[in-house]
Amino acid sequence: GIQVEQSPPDLILQEGANSTLRCNFSDSVNNLQWFHQNPWGQLINLFYIPSGTKQNGRLSATTVATERYSLLYISSSQTTDSGVYFCAVERDGGFKTIFGAGTRLFVKA
Amino acid sequence: DAGITQSPRHKVTETGTPVTLRCHQTENHRYMYWYRQDPGHGLRLIHYSYGVKDTDKGEVSDGYSVSRSKTEDFLLTLESATSSQTSVYFCAITWTENTEAFFGQGTRLTVV
């Protein structure tokens, strides 16, 4: 099946710093989503981005489907950005997605 | 917040007992999903539903069954709980195929 790899696995930032998270996938996909899991365990949808670039405030994402990767940019990080960021891809319709193992982010005040 | 409610939020049960987790949505979304989250594995799909009485297996369906008798409710049943089913279970919904997903708050299940 399709493989999803996220990097880095762990990341520690000083508040205000910028960062880039990467998601590589091994086959073509129909859709790709980025999620943030906060320290309380809640999963929040950040971007639905099968291709192209989207921005939402300090966050932006780019997916290059032909090269099988997606990037999540976090600018001017805040302590509330801490948590785990998951990339999830799907190729067969519906939300029968494959999740990456996640990037655990800690932002220090 | 998407109207997704999981119940119970926490449960401790004994090995061999049946357990049912409930996912209730008020969004009238067609698709509903059950995932489990374990350290080192991320989230893995257990079962999903694409309509009332229409369900299918995900990648880790062994030991689980589901039912969907109404659009708003998707039930996950562990017929005979085992310690390997100790996990955090998440329900998700999507409006159609290839649209963004929304998650419930999760149910932490411990099988002792």
CA distance A45 to chain B (A): 7
pLDDT grade for B100, boundaries at 50, 70 and 90: confident
A23, A25, A28, A95: which to substitute to probe chain B, counting the most B Cβ within 10 Å? A95
Q: What is the pLDDT of residues B2-31, one digit of tens each?
A: 699 999 999 999 999 999 999 999 988 999
Q: Which of A33, A95, A100 sits opposite B42 (nearest CB)?
A: A100
Residues 6 or more apart whose Cβ sits within 8 Å of residue A107: A12, A13, A14, A15, A17, A77, A78, A79, A80, A81, A82
CB contacts, 8 Å: B6 with chain A: none
Greater pLDDT, A85 or A31: A85
Average pLDDT, chain A: 94
pLDDT grade for A90, boundaries at 50, 70 and 90: confident
CB contacts, 8 Å: B45 with chain A: 96-97
Q: How wide is the angle at C-alpha A64 spanned by C-alphas A58 and A48, nearest 5°? A: 55
The pLDDT, as a whole number, for residue A96 is 75
Which two structure tokens, joined as six digits, stand for A3? 């493989």
pLDDT grade for A1, boundaries at 50, 70 and 90: confident
pLDDT grade for B107, boundaries at 50, 70 and 90: very high
Give the pLDDT mean for A41-63: 95
Q: Which of A50, A90, A102 sits opposite B42 (nearest CB)?
A: A102
Q: Is A96–B101 a contact, with Cβ atoms under 8 angstroms apart?
A: no
The pLDDT, as a whole number, for residue B1 is 53
CA A19 from centroid of its chain's CA atoms: 12
Give yes or no for a contact between A82 and A57, defined as CB atoms under 8 angstroms apart: no
Q: What is the pLDDT of residues B36-91, one digit of tens each?
A: 999 877 899 999 999 999 999 998 999 999 999 999 999 999 999 999 999 999 99
CB contacts, 8 Å: A100 with chain B: 42
Q: Which residues of A, range 35-64, sit inside 8 Å of B by Cβ?
A: 35, 41-45, 48, 50
